[in-house]
Amino acid sequence: MLLLVGLGNPGPKYANNRHNIGFMAVDSIVRRHGFGAWRKRFQGETAEGTLGGERTLALKPQTYMNESGRSVGEALRFYNLTPDDVVVLHDEIDLPPAKVRVKTGGGSAGNNGIRSIDAHIGNDYHRVRLGVGKLEAKGTARVHVLGDFSKADKEWLDPLIEAVADNAALLAARHFVTFQNRVHLALNPEPEKPGKKETE
């Protein structure tokens, strides 16, 4: 079983924040792959479905970002899962917009949602880091991630979310490098090589 977690803050006030890209990605996966309806469980919202033939529980913690680990830990214990069964999608300010990197373990890089999950289940789970861009000035991390995406951001944000949903089955299969590459190619298609001209 896969526990697929999107990080964000609940409520309309935060819905379009950079910090909520994890919620956006999981919402798109649930829609694309025909998961069941959302319902309240584990101090969050959950939806059940399958990805690549594997039973999957999508989870959006409703504890606010800084306490995400409470929700994740509760779901993990209920299903008797291990950290290897957990994939977390979250915003990453150390990556340029639309860049995606997957890593297992490591530090929180200042993300309080990741820090909270580490505290509740350890850090040996998988993170899908979704780039939202560098800070414009030192010390503005909180303002940056709690700011809304702009209309211009939609040019890369919508295709990114779509590509993540299209390739989500690779996350269930733990084919993380392939997932990264497929998302990159979807956003940066290789130019067609010029072929020989057809003759009549």
Catalytic residues: 19
Determine the Cα–Cα distance for residues 181 and 113; give it in Å rounded to an integer. Answer: 26
Other Cβ atoms less than 10 A from the Cβ of 123: the count is 16
Q: Cβ contacts of residue 112 below 8 Å, gap of 6+?
A: 65, 66
Cβ atoms of residues 121 and 76 within 8 Å: yes
Determine the Cα–Cα distance for residues 190 and 148; give it in Å rounded to an integer. Answer: 31
CA distances, 184 to each of 60, 110, 168, 173, 180 (Å): 25, 25, 13, 18, 6
Determine the Cα–Cα distance for residues 8 and 11; give it in Å rounded to an integer. Answer: 10
What are 121's two structure tokens? 């289940």
